Amino acid sequence: MPVLRFRSGTSRRSRFAAAGTLLAALSLLLTLPGAASADDAATPERGTATMGMGVLANEGQSGTPRGTRATQTEGVDVAGYQGNVAWSTLWSSGIKWAYVKATEGTYYKNTYFTQQYNGSYNVGMIRGSYHFATPDTTSGATQATYFANNGGGWSGDGKTLPGVLDIEWNPYGDSCYGKTASGMVSWIKDFTTTYKSLTGRDAVIYTSTSWWTSCTGNSSAFGSTNPLWVARYASAVGTLPAGWSYYTMWQYTSSGATVGDHDYFNGALDRVKALATG
Protein backbone atom coordinates (compact mmCIF):
# COMPACT_ATOMS: atom_id res chain seq x y z
CA MET A 1 0.00 0.00 0.00
CA PRO A 2 1.51 3.39 -0.92
CA VAL A 3 2.46 5.70 1.91
CA LEU A 4 0.58 9.01 1.91
CA ARG A 5 2.79 12.02 2.47
CA PHE A 6 1.53 15.49 3.34
CA ARG A 7 3.19 18.78 2.66
CA SER A 8 4.47 20.37 5.83
CA GLY A 9 2.03 23.27 5.55
CA THR A 10 -1.10 21.13 5.27
CA SER A 11 -0.35 17.90 7.22
CA ARG A 12 -1.55 19.15 10.63
CA ARG A 13 -4.79 20.59 9.23
CA SER A 14 -5.50 17.36 7.35
CA ARG A 15 -4.95 15.21 10.42
CA PHE A 16 -7.31 17.41 12.47
CA ALA A 17 -9.95 17.23 9.72
CA ALA A 18 -9.70 13.44 9.56
CA ALA A 19 -9.99 13.14 13.35
CA GLY A 20 -13.02 15.44 13.35
CA THR A 21 -14.71 13.36 10.65
CA LEU A 22 -14.12 10.16 12.67
CA LEU A 23 -15.54 11.68 15.87
CA ALA A 24 -18.62 12.94 14.03
CA ALA A 25 -19.22 9.48 12.57
CA LEU A 26 -18.93 7.84 16.00
CA SER A 27 -21.32 10.40 17.51
CA LEU A 28 -23.88 9.72 14.77
CA LEU A 29 -23.61 5.95 15.32
CA LEU A 30 -24.28 6.26 19.03
CA THR A 31 -27.41 8.34 18.43
CA LEU A 32 -28.94 6.04 15.82
CA PRO A 33 -32.00 4.00 16.91
CA GLY A 34 -30.93 0.66 18.32
CA ALA A 35 -27.40 1.78 19.09
CA ALA A 36 -26.11 0.05 22.21
CA SER A 37 -25.39 1.96 25.40
CA ALA A 38 -24.12 1.05 28.85
CA ASP A 39 -27.66 1.32 30.24
CA ASP A 40 -29.00 -1.00 27.52
CA ALA A 41 -26.36 -3.60 28.32
CA ALA A 42 -27.34 -3.55 32.02
CA THR A 43 -31.07 -3.99 31.37
CA PRO A 44 -32.15 -7.66 31.32
CA GLU A 45 -34.18 -9.12 28.49
CA ARG A 46 -37.95 -9.03 28.95
CA GLY A 47 -39.22 -12.30 30.40
CA THR A 48 -36.10 -13.03 32.44
CA ALA A 49 -37.25 -11.40 35.68
CA THR A 50 -37.42 -13.71 38.67
CA MET A 51 -38.88 -13.42 42.14
CA GLY A 52 -36.51 -11.31 44.23
CA MET A 53 -34.34 -10.11 41.36
CA GLY A 54 -35.17 -6.50 42.14
CA VAL A 55 -34.95 -7.05 45.88
CA LEU A 56 -31.39 -8.33 45.65
CA ALA A 57 -30.34 -5.55 43.25
CA ASN A 58 -31.88 -2.74 45.30
CA GLU A 59 -31.70 -3.99 48.88
CA GLY A 60 -28.88 -6.56 48.93
CA GLN A 61 -28.43 -9.53 51.22
CA SER A 62 -27.14 -9.09 54.75
CA GLY A 63 -27.49 -12.37 56.59
CA THR A 64 -29.45 -15.53 57.25
CA PRO A 65 -32.36 -15.96 59.67
CA ARG A 66 -31.71 -16.19 63.37
CA GLY A 67 -33.11 -19.15 65.25
CA THR A 68 -36.72 -18.79 66.30
CA ARG A 69 -39.13 -20.61 68.55
CA ALA A 70 -41.89 -20.27 65.99
CA THR A 71 -42.42 -23.27 63.73
CA GLN A 72 -41.37 -22.51 60.17
CA THR A 73 -41.78 -24.77 57.13
CA GLU A 74 -39.06 -24.53 54.50
CA GLY A 75 -39.98 -23.81 50.88
CA VAL A 76 -38.39 -22.82 47.59
CA ASP A 77 -39.27 -20.73 44.54
CA VAL A 78 -37.89 -21.35 41.05
CA ALA A 79 -38.11 -19.97 37.51
CA GLY A 80 -37.46 -21.07 33.95
CA TYR A 81 -33.76 -20.18 33.88
CA GLN A 82 -33.11 -23.00 36.38
CA GLY A 83 -34.29 -25.62 33.89
CA ASN A 84 -35.17 -29.09 35.08
CA VAL A 85 -35.13 -28.97 38.88
CA ALA A 86 -33.90 -31.86 41.05
CA TRP A 87 -37.09 -32.03 43.10
CA SER A 88 -36.23 -35.30 44.85
CA THR A 89 -33.03 -33.71 46.17
CA LEU A 90 -34.93 -30.71 47.49
CA TRP A 91 -37.56 -32.95 49.06
CA SER A 92 -34.87 -34.99 50.81
CA SER A 93 -33.34 -31.78 52.17
CA GLY A 94 -36.60 -30.85 53.91
CA ILE A 95 -38.32 -28.63 51.35
CA LYS A 96 -42.08 -29.20 51.66
CA TRP A 97 -43.60 -26.51 49.41
CA ALA A 98 -42.68 -24.68 46.23
CA TYR A 99 -43.71 -21.85 43.95
CA VAL A 100 -42.90 -21.85 40.23
CA LYS A 101 -42.85 -18.85 37.90
CA ALA A 102 -45.64 -19.28 35.34
CA THR A 103 -45.88 -15.96 33.52
CA GLU A 104 -44.65 -12.40 33.18
CA GLY A 105 -46.66 -9.51 31.77
CA THR A 106 -48.65 -10.91 28.87
CA TYR A 107 -45.62 -11.83 26.77
CA TYR A 108 -43.84 -14.63 28.63
CA LYS A 109 -44.62 -18.19 29.71
CA ASN A 110 -42.09 -20.38 31.54
CA THR A 111 -40.97 -23.08 29.10
CA TYR A 112 -39.95 -25.34 32.01
CA PHE A 113 -43.22 -24.85 33.84
CA THR A 114 -44.53 -28.40 33.38
CA GLN A 115 -41.39 -30.07 34.75
CA GLN A 116 -41.14 -27.66 37.65
CA TYR A 117 -44.83 -27.48 38.59
CA ASN A 118 -45.63 -31.17 38.16
CA GLY A 119 -42.23 -32.33 39.36
CA SER A 120 -42.64 -30.65 42.75
CA TYR A 121 -46.13 -32.11 43.08
CA ASN A 122 -44.96 -35.61 42.16
CA VAL A 123 -42.38 -35.78 44.97
CA GLY A 124 -45.03 -34.77 47.51
CA MET A 125 -44.68 -31.02 47.75
CA ILE A 126 -47.55 -28.56 48.04
CA ARG A 127 -47.00 -26.16 45.17
CA GLY A 128 -48.29 -23.09 43.44
CA SER A 129 -47.32 -20.62 40.71
CA TYR A 130 -46.45 -16.94 40.51
CA HIS A 131 -46.78 -14.10 38.04
CA PHE A 132 -44.10 -11.42 37.65
CA ALA A 133 -46.05 -8.19 37.26
CA THR A 134 -45.16 -5.48 34.77
CA PRO A 135 -47.70 -2.71 35.49
CA ASP A 136 -46.27 -0.54 32.72
CA THR A 137 -47.22 -2.94 29.91
CA THR A 138 -50.89 -3.92 30.36
CA SER A 139 -53.68 -3.61 32.94
CA GLY A 140 -53.92 -5.62 36.13
CA ALA A 141 -57.04 -7.40 34.88
CA THR A 142 -55.36 -8.37 31.62
CA GLN A 143 -52.33 -9.81 33.39
CA ALA A 144 -54.44 -11.66 35.98
CA THR A 145 -56.38 -13.32 33.15
CA TYR A 146 -53.17 -14.24 31.32
CA PHE A 147 -51.77 -15.73 34.51
CA ALA A 148 -54.90 -17.70 35.38
CA ASN A 149 -55.05 -19.13 31.86
CA ASN A 150 -51.36 -20.11 31.73
CA GLY A 151 -50.56 -21.99 34.92
CA GLY A 152 -51.93 -19.65 37.57
CA GLY A 153 -55.19 -21.46 38.23
CA TRP A 154 -56.20 -23.13 41.47
CA SER A 155 -57.85 -26.44 42.39
CA GLY A 156 -59.09 -27.70 45.75
CA ASP A 157 -56.94 -30.84 45.73
CA GLY A 158 -55.19 -29.89 48.96
CA LYS A 159 -51.80 -29.59 47.24
CA THR A 160 -52.28 -26.45 45.13
CA LEU A 161 -51.48 -23.06 46.67
CA PRO A 162 -53.22 -19.87 45.49
CA GLY A 163 -51.43 -17.87 42.83
CA VAL A 164 -48.93 -15.15 43.70
CA LEU A 165 -48.69 -11.60 42.38
CA ASP A 166 -44.96 -10.82 42.38
CA ILE A 167 -44.88 -7.01 42.55
CA GLU A 168 -41.41 -5.59 43.22
CA TRP A 169 -38.58 -3.42 41.91
CA ASN A 170 -38.73 -3.10 38.12
CA PRO A 171 -35.65 -4.70 36.54
CA TYR A 172 -36.42 -3.10 33.17
CA GLY A 173 -36.74 0.57 34.07
CA ASP A 174 -38.41 2.94 36.50
CA SER A 175 -38.69 1.34 39.95
CA CYS A 176 -42.43 2.03 40.22
CA TYR A 177 -43.16 1.29 36.55
CA GLY A 178 -43.96 4.95 35.94
CA LYS A 179 -47.00 4.89 38.21
CA THR A 180 -48.02 7.14 41.07
CA ALA A 181 -48.75 5.49 44.42
CA SER A 182 -52.50 5.69 43.86
CA GLY A 183 -52.08 4.40 40.32
CA MET A 184 -50.10 1.42 41.58
CA VAL A 185 -52.70 0.59 44.24
CA SER A 186 -55.40 0.70 41.56
CA TRP A 187 -53.38 -1.62 39.32
CA ILE A 188 -52.87 -4.15 42.12
CA LYS A 189 -56.56 -4.00 43.01
CA ASP A 190 -57.42 -4.61 39.36
CA PHE A 191 -55.21 -7.71 39.34
CA THR A 192 -56.33 -9.18 42.66
CA THR A 193 -60.04 -8.59 42.04
CA THR A 194 -59.84 -10.22 38.62
CA TYR A 195 -57.78 -13.14 39.89
CA LYS A 196 -60.31 -13.91 42.60
CA SER A 197 -63.21 -13.72 40.16
CA LEU A 198 -61.44 -16.28 37.93
CA THR A 199 -60.17 -18.71 40.59
CA GLY A 200 -62.18 -18.14 43.74
CA ARG A 201 -59.00 -17.43 45.71
CA ASP A 202 -57.34 -14.26 46.94
CA ALA A 203 -53.90 -13.98 45.38
CA VAL A 204 -50.87 -13.93 47.66
CA ILE A 205 -48.94 -10.66 47.33
CA TYR A 206 -45.16 -10.97 47.16
CA THR A 207 -43.25 -7.75 47.77
CA SER A 208 -40.64 -6.06 49.93
CA THR A 209 -41.46 -3.45 52.56
CA SER A 210 -39.06 -1.00 50.94
CA TRP A 211 -40.64 -1.24 47.49
CA TRP A 212 -44.19 -1.26 48.88
CA THR A 213 -43.50 1.91 50.85
CA SER A 214 -41.90 3.65 47.89
CA CYS A 215 -44.36 2.65 45.18
CA THR A 216 -47.77 2.28 46.88
CA GLY A 217 -47.28 4.95 49.55
CA ASN A 218 -47.33 2.06 52.06
CA SER A 219 -50.95 1.25 51.28
CA SER A 220 -52.89 -0.78 53.85
CA ALA A 221 -55.61 -1.75 51.37
CA PHE A 222 -54.72 -5.43 50.99
CA GLY A 223 -53.80 -6.63 54.46
CA SER A 224 -57.24 -7.99 55.33
CA THR A 225 -57.69 -10.00 52.14
CA ASN A 226 -54.40 -11.05 50.55
CA PRO A 227 -51.76 -13.18 52.30
CA LEU A 228 -48.34 -11.54 52.45
CA TRP A 229 -45.12 -13.06 51.13
CA VAL A 230 -42.44 -10.62 52.21
CA ALA A 231 -38.92 -10.51 50.78
CA ARG A 232 -36.03 -9.54 53.02
CA TYR A 233 -32.60 -11.10 52.83
CA ALA A 234 -31.50 -10.55 56.40
CA SER A 235 -31.42 -12.21 59.82
CA ALA A 236 -34.93 -10.97 60.66
CA VAL A 237 -37.99 -10.16 58.61
CA GLY A 238 -38.13 -6.59 59.92
CA THR A 239 -41.01 -4.15 59.56
CA LEU A 240 -43.89 -5.39 57.43
CA PRO A 241 -45.83 -3.33 54.87
CA ALA A 242 -48.85 -1.45 56.20
CA GLY A 243 -52.02 -3.46 56.66
CA TRP A 244 -50.34 -6.76 57.52
CA SER A 245 -49.75 -7.68 61.17
CA TYR A 246 -47.96 -10.91 60.24
CA TYR A 247 -46.42 -12.54 57.18
CA THR A 248 -47.55 -15.83 55.66
CA MET A 249 -44.25 -16.47 53.86
CA TRP A 250 -40.80 -14.94 54.06
CA GLN A 251 -38.22 -15.15 51.29
CA TYR A 252 -35.07 -14.94 53.34
CA THR A 253 -32.30 -15.66 50.81
CA SER A 254 -31.67 -15.58 47.08
CA SER A 255 -28.95 -18.23 47.26
CA GLY A 256 -30.47 -21.31 48.84
CA ALA A 257 -29.03 -24.81 48.76
CA THR A 258 -29.46 -26.94 45.60
CA VAL A 259 -31.53 -24.45 43.59
CA GLY A 260 -33.84 -21.48 43.90
CA ASP A 261 -34.58 -18.78 46.46
CA HIS A 262 -35.44 -20.20 49.87
CA ASP A 263 -38.39 -19.28 52.01
CA TYR A 264 -40.11 -19.90 55.32
CA PHE A 265 -43.81 -20.51 55.71
CA ASN A 266 -44.95 -18.96 58.97
CA GLY A 267 -46.27 -22.15 60.56
CA ALA A 268 -46.12 -25.92 60.50
CA LEU A 269 -46.95 -28.03 57.47
CA ASP A 270 -50.63 -28.23 58.45
CA ARG A 271 -50.83 -24.44 57.95
CA VAL A 272 -49.37 -24.78 54.45
CA LYS A 273 -52.08 -27.32 53.71
CA ALA A 274 -54.68 -24.97 55.16
CA LEU A 275 -53.66 -22.23 52.72
CA ALA A 276 -53.83 -24.75 49.88
CA THR A 277 -57.36 -25.82 50.76
CA GLY A 278 -58.58 -22.30 51.47
Looking at the annotation, which residues are catalytic? 77, 166, 168
Spatial CA neighbour of 198 closest among 150, 126, 166, 248 = 150
Spatial CA neighbour of 261 closest among 228, 232, 218, 238 = 232
From start to end of 72-157, where are the E strands?
73-78, 97-104, 108-109, 126-132
CB 216, CB 188: distance < 8 Å: yes
Q: Give the whole-angstrom CA distance, residue 45 versus residue 39.
A: 12
CB 30, CB 58: distance < 8 Å: no
Measured over the CA atoms of residue 217, residue 215, residue 195 and residue 232, the dihedral's sign is negative
CB 264, CB 250: distance < 8 Å: yes
CB 149, CB 116: distance < 8 Å: no
Q: Give the whole-angstrom CA distance, residue 209 versus residue 247.
A: 11
Residue 78 phi, psi (nearest 5) = -135, 170
